[in-house]
């Protein structure tokens, strides 16, 4: 079963985020707290949304998908960025990942989203093979860019003043 996440799922989602980070060999980078995730998912202005995959027999969470809207200047429409897709190892192969992706694809269709995008680590062959089985298009000509830490701060320090263009003064 796939359902929308509730505020009561935050601790379980954080636990699965840590499991995903361990799988992706990046535990030290998974620093989000329960409070931060609670605010991001259920605050006054949600930054992201989540679905939970539950075991059909026990009802226990076995996976999650966390996503947020994006916007394409080329299509003039919103789309969806899948930040995390995770299914616990003992539940893999049970259709939970495919069900989560199908639920998100249906949400895209209902919402008029023309794009559904995400990243996958180049070394993660089992996941890449899973995506290939769904006819996912791989955009090899695009590179992910990231600016963080000190380089982000250094570039921010060079920013010019930004004028509020909405005032009529």
Residues identified as active-site: 131
Q: Which residues sit opposite 85 in a β-bridge?
A: 65
Calpha distance 64→17 (Å, rounded): 9
Residue 9: CB partners within 8 Å, gap ≥ 6?
A: 50, 52, 61, 64
Locate all alpha helices (DSSP H) within the chain, ordered by sequence: 10-23, 34-42, 96-111, 125-133, 149-157
Calpha distance 131→87 (Å, rounded): 14
In this structure, what token pair is assigned to residue 133?
Answer: 């089985």
In this structure, what token pair is assigned to residue 11?
Answer: 């601790």
Residue 3: CB partners within 8 Å, gap ≥ 6?
A: 51, 52, 54
């Amino acid at each position: 079963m796939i359902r929308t996440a509730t505020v009561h799922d935050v601790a379980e989602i954080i636990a699965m985020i840590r499991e995903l980070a361990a799988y992706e060999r990046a535990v030290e980078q998974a620093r989000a707290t329960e409070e931060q995730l609670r605010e991001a998912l259920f605050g006054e202005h949600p930054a992201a949304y989540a679905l939970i995959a539950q075991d059909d027999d026990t009802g226990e969470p076995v996976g999650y998908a966390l996503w947020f809207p994006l916007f394409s200047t080329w299509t003039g429409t919103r789309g969806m960025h899948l930040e995390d897709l995770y299914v616990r190892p003992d539940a893999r192969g049970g259709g939970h990942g495919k069900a989560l992706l199908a639920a998100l694809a249906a949400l895209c269709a209902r919402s008029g989203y023309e794009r559904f995008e995400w990243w996958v680590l180049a070394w993660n062959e089992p996941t890449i093979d899973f995506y290939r089985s769904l006819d996912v298009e791989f955009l090899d000509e695009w590179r992910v860019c990231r600016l963080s830490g000190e380089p982000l701060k250094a570039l921010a320090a060079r920013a010019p003043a930004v004028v509020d263009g909405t005032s009529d003064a």
